[in-house]
Structures are given as structure tokens and as C-alpha cells.
Amino acid sequence: MKRYIIVVFIVVVFAILYSCKKDTTLPADFKATPYTLKIPARFPAPIIAIDNPMTEEGIKLGRMFYYDPILSTNGKSCVTCHFRENSYSSAPLFLASNGAKISVIPHINLAWNPDFLWDGSEPTLDREPLADFGPEFFNTNMSELIQKLKNHPKYPILFKQAFNIDDIATLSEKDLQLKIVYAITQFLRTMISADSKYDKMLKRQVNFTPEEMDGMQTFMTERGDCFHCHGDPLMTSNTFNNNGLDSVLTGSNLGRYLVTLNDFDKGKFSSPTLRNIELTAPFMHDGRFTTLEEVVEFYNSGVNWNSPNIDPIMTKPAKKYGLGLSTTQKANLVKFLKTLTDTAYINNKDFMSPF
């Protein structure tokens, strides 16, 4: 009898051990499923890194990492600063270690950006989140993270499916970080916004009010000249420009110059997309404006003509004394900007937490 109990005991122990083992075996011919981005009508070709092709499995893994505080030692994850309801931006300004206040950039159509961050210092989306492992963000302890991932019920098999990696621990810390970031950026590339009232109006699914129509006139013609730097369809020219926020440039207000050290780049910033702009206050790289009305008034009457390298569009002779928009025209311009809001985007379940 005693022997019988011992045998049962051993069998039970083995059964438990077996069920706990993270089985990463997949059929020998297993291949991750290629994912093709659905490109909205009128959009140009997206920029997909050759070394990080998108797959269903990679996107699934990236979505988990995006939301999972497992990457940090301080409970932070990407959503600590990127809130869905703010188009994956957030109102509190980020305080950099050098004291600079930085407005959190939203995620919108990142697959079309040729450069990242306000000063364009990161040329590749697939490298941008690497900084998040650092002390200012996740303060990640890599050896701890490797253990947590290895013992996790889901991550080992997901790594195998997405990147054909059998054992996470065989990767160098750098390579592991890169794979995590590759997965996250595959997910980020799926975050496409092209279903705003503006898009629907162009597809003739809805009509603009006369006020919105008038605002669009200001935006798209020489009356307001906004389209030069925030043009259709991405609502950004993806260029670096100085829109005349300051006449004297110091510290982080030097913008692109801090990356290139070229005097010609002083005061230039990456012209941001205006899609979902209603959701992403405060505005400009340092969040100096709280409302769209303030932004419009800045372009109407507050541009600093003597700012170094100010964009020639801002100083066209007719603009010498500002845009000269009437109160109604300014209000209508704001109404037009609000037609760029895409609620289907922020309510898209595919982007929400998988946990």
C-alpha cells in the first residue's frame, strides 16, 4: 500500500512538472503569419523596416509588451504616458532630466513618419522605444526581466511564434531589448487613423457645416497657409520647420539644431500631424498652449518674425501684421481642426489592452 502511494505521488509530481513546463515546440515548418498593413485611400506607401517585417504573432506580442509593466521595475508601461483617450498622448508634460518640459507625442500613423521625436533625433521607429528601458522611463533590470519572461506562462511560446526564438536567455540583453522593441513597433505600425469627419467628408459620406467649410478654406488656402506644413492626407509635411514660437532660442527650444549642430536648424521642429489634435493638448513641443484657440491666435497675431530660420511661409509679405483673421474665421478654423478627430481610432479594440 505504502509503495502504491509513493508511485501515485511520483506520477502526480511528474504530471504537475510536465504541465508547468513551457512548451515552445512548434511544427518544424512553422512560420509567423505575414501581416499586410491596410493602407487607407490617398495615403502614400508606409515605411516598414526591412529587418522587422510585420507578422500577426509579432503584433500580438508587441501589444502585450505595450501594456505590460513586466518591462519595468517601477510599475510603468507605455500607457503610463500614452493614454488611449488622448490618441495615445497625455496631458501631463514629461519632465526630462535636464529640466526641459516635453509634450508627449501621440501615436497616429507612425508607419508613415520618416523620423521621430520633436527634434527628429530618432530616425527609426524600430529603435525609438529602446530609450524606454532607461532610468528616466522603465528603469529596467535586464537580468530580472529575463527570468520573469522565461517563467511567464505566455511569453516563451509567443517569442517562439513571433521570432522563432527557443530560449530567451540565449539572447544578449541588447538583442532581447531589440526583439521586444521590434514586436512593440510592429504593433505601433498597425495604429492607423483615417476615419475622421474630414476623411468621411472627402469620401462624401458626411457633409461639413458651413463653419467647418469656412475653416477648411482658411486652412487649405493662402488665407491661413496651414496646409504647407500640415497638408493632406497625413496632415503633416513631415519636414522640420520653425513656425516662429520664440525670437530668442536657448536650451531645448533650439530644436533640430541640437541634433545636427547646423545653425540653419536652430528653432526647427518636426511639423506634427494635426490628426486628432482635439485630443492631444497641451500643444507645441513644450506644451505652451492649452487650447486650440490659443494656437490659432498665435498663428494669427503672435508669430515672432525675428526668430532665427523662421520659415519663409510664416513671413510672406501679406502676413507682416499677422493673418488678420476675423473672430468668426478663427472660430471656424478651430471647428475645422476638430473634424480631424477620429473616434473610431481611439475606440479601436485591436489597440486596447489584451489583459
Are the CB atoms for 48 and 190 separated by under 8 Å?
no
The interface with ligand HEC within residues 127-156 (CB under 6 A) comprises 128-129, 132, 137
Contacting range for ligand HEC; rule: CB under 6 A; set: 141-149, 192-200, 203-211, 307-315: 307-315
Rule CB under 6 A: choose which of 64, 295, 303, 340 binds ligand HEC: 295
Write the CB contacts of 257 (distance below 8 Å, at least 6 apart in sequence). 249, 263, 265, 266, 267, 268
Contacting range for ligand HEC; rule: CB under 6 A; set: 30-38, 44-52, 73-81, 207-215: 73-81
Query: How many residues of this chain interact with ligand HEC, rule: CB under 6 A?
Result: 47
Specify the residue, 57 or 278, whose C-beta has the smaller distance to ligand HEC.
278
Contacting range for ligand HEC; rule: CB under 6 A; set: 12-20, 141-149, 170-178, 294-302: 294-302
Specify the residue, 58 or 129, whose C-beta has the smaller distance to ligand HEC.
129
CA dihedral for 320, 322, 325, 326, sign (positive or negative) = negative
CA–CA distance, 166 with 161 (Å, rounded to integer): 9
Binding flag, residue 214, ligand HEC (CB under 6 A): no
| Single-letter residue type at 176 | L
Q: What would you report as the CA-atom Rg of the chain, rounded to the nearest whole angstrom?
A: 25
Are the CB atoms for 190 and 110 separated by under 8 Å?
no
Nearest alpha-carbon partner for 79 in 137, 154, 142: 137
Binding flag, residue 215, ligand HEC (CB under 6 A): no
CA–CA distance, 23 with 192 (Å, rounded to integer): 35
> How many CA atoms within 13 Å lie on the side-chain side of 327?
0
CA–CA distance, 186 with 228 (Å, rounded to integer): 30
User: Torsion angle, CA of 327/329/330/333, rounded to 10 degrees?
Assistant: 160
> Residue written as cell 524606454?
132
Specify the residue, 63 or 160, whose C-beta has the smaller distance to ligand HEC.
63
Specify the residue, 32 or 110, whose C-beta has the smaller distance to ligand HEC.
110
Contacting range for ligand HEC; rule: CB under 6 A; set: 40-48, 149-157, 201-209, 283-291: 283-291
Binding flag, residue 80, ligand HEC (CB under 6 A): yes
Rule CB under 6 A: choose which of 63, 86, 111, 116 binds ligand HEC: 116
Binding site for ligand HEC (CB under 6 A): 66, 76, 78, 80-82, 94, 102-105, 110, 113, 116-118, 128-129, 132, 137, 184, 188, 224-226, 228-230, 241, 243, 245, 269, 271-272, 274, 277, 280, 283-285, 295-296, 299, 311, 313-314, 333
